[in-house]
């Protein structure tokens, strides 16, 4: 069972609670402060931004966009409040990193947005989700600083991004350069 996160915002204050944990950040106050309340099933904190998926499958991101589109709302603008990720997709999970964000939809498709090769076969950044190439069904993805890896529903691991940093389970790098599309990870035999 995943914890449920409730996020409430009054002005620039953001309050998140899970069980007995309460954190607050922000600061805009005044008579025109609006209240936003969202309930998250999962959250992921990147270096300077955070993303989460509500219990209804809607992905939201907030924080410092850095002008690279990692909030995924179709802009290059930072936000102190959660903004919905563009595209109307229903997400099961998201993973935020330093320069990009990736997620898996409820139907198993992987999407990424922000900077770096996003796994769509190009080396173009995007401020909206782009589908990862290959048509694979993913169970989960994990966005690293310079690469992303995911596990398919059949248990195969794939990685994309800066391949000299995306090391296989054997600890060996796969050579310099950019991997623009997912390729099977080099996993050692466990027997």
Give the pLDDT score at 183: 74
Q: How far apart are CA 49 and CA 47, in angstroms?
A: 6
pLDDT tens-digit profile of 86-116? Answer: 999 999 999 999 999 999 999 999 999 999 7
Sheet with 126-131: list strands edge to edge.
91-96, 100-105, 110-114, 126-131
Mean per-residue pLDDT for 168-179? Answer: 51
Q: How far apart are CA 18 and CA 8, in angstroms?
A: 12
Mean local confidence (pLDDT), 65-93: 97
Phi, psi torsion values for 130, nearest 5 degrees: -120, 140
Residue 69: other Cβ atoms inside 10 A: 25
Confidence of residue 168 (pLDDT cuts 50, 70, 90): very low
Q: What is the mean pLDDT of residues 127-140?
A: 97
Q: Is the pLDDT of residue 12 over 60?
A: no
| Mean pLDDT for all residues in the chain | 80
> Which of helix, strand or coil describes residue 97?
coil
Alpha-helical segments (H) within 3-61? none
Is the CB of residue 59 less than 8 Å from the CB of residue 85? yes
What confidence category does residue 37 fall into, taking pLDDT thresholds of 50, 70 and 90? confident
HSE-up of 152 (CA within 13 Å, CB side)? Answer: 15
Provide, for the chain, the percentages of residues in helix, strand and coil under a 3-state DSSP scheme, each rounded to the nearest 5. Answer: 0, 50, 50
pTM to 2 decimal places: 0.77
Percent of the chain with pLDDT over 70: 68
Is residue 65 predicted with pLDDT exceeding 80? yes
The answer to whether 106 and 115 are in contact (CB under 8 A) is no
The b-or-e profile of 88-106 (16+ CB within 10 A means b, else e) is: ebebbbbbbbbbbbbbbbe
pLDDT-derived band at 185, boundaries 50, 70, 90: confident
pLDDT digits (tens, 9 = 90+) for 38-59: 999 999 999 999 999 999 999 9
Q: What is the mean pLDDT of residues 142-165?
A: 87
Calpha distance 160→113 (Å, rounded): 13
CATH class of 5-184: mainly beta
pLDDT(127) > 70: yes
Calculate the alpha carbon distances from 157 to 77, 100, 136, 146, 177 in Å.
33, 19, 11, 17, 20
């Amino acid at each position: 069972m995943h914890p449920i996160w409730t996020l409430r915002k009054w002005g620039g204050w953001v309050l998140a609670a899970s069980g007995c944990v309460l954190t607050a950040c922000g600061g805009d106050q005044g008579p025109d402060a609006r209240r936003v309340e969202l309930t998250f099933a999962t959250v992921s904190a990147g270096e300077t931004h955070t993303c989460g998926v509500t219990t209804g499958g809607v992905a939201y991101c907030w924080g410092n966009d850095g002008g690279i589109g990692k909030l995924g709302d179709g802009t290059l603008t930072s936000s102190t409040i959660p903004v919905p990720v563009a595209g109307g997709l229903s997400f099961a999970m998201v993973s935020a990193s330093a320069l990009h964000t990736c997620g898996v939809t409820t139907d198993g498709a992987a999407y990424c947005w922000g900077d770096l090769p996003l796994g769509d076969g190009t080396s173009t950044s995007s401020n909206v989700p782009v589908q990862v190439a290959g048509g694979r069904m993913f169970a989960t993805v994990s966005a690293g600083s310079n690469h992303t890896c995911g596990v398919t529903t059949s248990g195969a691991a794939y990685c994309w991004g800066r391949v000299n940093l995306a090391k296989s389970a054997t600890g060996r790098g796969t050579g310099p350069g950019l991997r623009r599309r997912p390729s099977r990870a080099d996993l050692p035999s466990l027997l």
